[in-house]
Structure 1
């Protein structure tokens, strides 16, 4: 790249653009799936407040009302994680958005938990095969396919991967269906395998396992039925999960990998 001409270099507009470009290159960058609501939304807000550049992914176009963070539309990629055939194209688009810069964090937060038409949990006896496949594509396969596809960018940053599992991965839950629960248990095992494989490349891989958190995925009646079983006596808030994710992506967690951190107010004690 040649030297900047004197008349352009002295232009304040050019200086502003140069400063913005330098600031962009210096900022840490993260990718979050399922960022439009709940835990993903809280994670984006916290990291954005800390100065990170956030690239979001979801099935829907960017919603500027729900997600009022900087450069949201420019840093949003529409991805249907249930469509495995289209994931390579989605990864390619994410690489374009990264523009060759390192990726400091990948948070695999997106997840689906289908219910029966009556709203009841789907059991191992009545979950349709198509539902099993969709749940595992989104909750289990997408995290490893995204991490593998973005591996070079993660390694360049010595970055961090966080897989969002769940309390239901270790016990039968009155509201969560069988496919959702087993996909989260599989994701916990995958986290350990990824941590072992990625460690020698400087990439840390951990999981966070939320319990009953006040989000849209919480089934009606959860608070009344389960809050008495939680030692801390309350349902958790998305911001409390986001703060644990932030810790795992920070230098404070530089020697933490292969762990699944429970965030459930003591519910599993």
Structure 2
């Protein structure tokens, strides 16, 4: 009798990096729980790609910043928690710090940091009882270097890197590995409105990354090949920053 497939929950996975991670983990053989906030049409398209890989996909629409919604929607996962949790949900609300309004600051922190807290805290006790699991937090080069006009985003991503290190130490004895992946400039909608030609000149490899290239790193961290790696931040940035 074959053992049941492992599963993975990816937040913010209806598009961009999150969608690429969900599809890659599906190709790796994981059943997928795909979280997104509101884009039902796009989420269903990603689900079709996942199911084409021969695994199941369960759509979980909720806002990771809403603690009550997180607990309600994740209740069905508590008896059999996913082996993998990828905290990817996020967005940018750029503005020079002196002109940044309260909502731009609070909303970015809420999704990136409070979202990580809400989802991880809900699932972690069950993962600890199982004594196995992988948590991968999608950070950013901005959280390592800072970016003008992104004090809120950089603060949130730097906080996520710090939380990754602390949590990794806490749960290592329960065989739960916690790492972060820090993408640089990746071909997603977050590049919209940016001076892409100028930015590309700053990247040593001379191009932007593809979402799939971030997904490959997540795939590795969720595999048996990464069993002695925890508390680390892995940059996928074309050489624009070396930590």
The verdict on a shared fold, with TM-score over 0.5 as the criterion, is: yes
The runs of at least 4 consecutive aligned structure 1 residues that moved more than 6 Å come to 71-74
Query: What's the counterpart of residue 42 of structure 1?
Result: 20
Distance 1:80 1:40 in 2: 15
Checking the alignment, whether the CA contact within 8 Å between 2:31 and 2:56 is kept in structure 1 is: no
Query: What's the counterpart of residue 254 of structure 1?
Result: 227
* Number of aligned residue pairs: 236
Question: How much does 1:72 deviate?
Answer: 9.7
Query: What's the counterpart of residue 110 of structure 1?
Result: 89
Deviations 1:41-71 (A, max 9, x none): 1011111122210001111153323542329
Distance 1:189 1:99 in 2: 26
1:223 aligns with 2:201: no
User: Mind listing any 5+ residue stretches in structure 2 that lack a counterpart?
Assistant: none
Distance 2:57 2:225 in 1: 30
Checking the alignment, whether the CA contact within 8 Å between 2:29 and 2:55 is kept in structure 1 is: no
Deviations 1:93-124 (A, max 9, x none): 2231x36224210000010101xxxxxx3122
Go from structure 1 to structure 2 and tell me whether the alpha carbon gap of 1:261 and 1:59 turns closer, same or farther (over 3 Å shift): same
1:75 aligns with 2:88: no
Query: What's the counterpart of residue 192 of structure 1?
Result: 165
Query: What's the counterpart of residue 160 of structure 1?
Result: 134
Question: How much does 1:76 deviate?
Answer: 1.2
Query: What's the counterpart of residue 7 of structure 1?
Result: none
User: Mind listing any 5+ residue stretches in structure 1 that lack a counterpart?
Assistant: 1-21, 115-120
Go from structure 1 to structure 2 and tell me whether the alpha carbon gap of 1:165 and 1:222 turns closer, same or farther (over 3 Å shift): farther
Normalising by the residue count of structure 1, what TM-score does the alignment of the two structures yield?
0.81
The secondary structure found in structure 2 opposite 1:125 is helix
Q: Report the structure number with the largest CA radius of gyration.
A: 1
Distance 2:140 2:57 in 1: 31
Calculate the aligned-residue CA RMSD, in Å: 2.2
Go from structure 1 to structure 2 and tell me whether the alpha carbon gap of 1:157 and 1:29 turns closer, same or farther (over 3 Å shift): farther
Normalising by the residue count of structure 2, what TM-score does the alignment of the two structures yield?
0.89
Checking the alignment, whether the CA contact within 8 Å between 1:102 and 1:157 is kept in structure 2 is: no
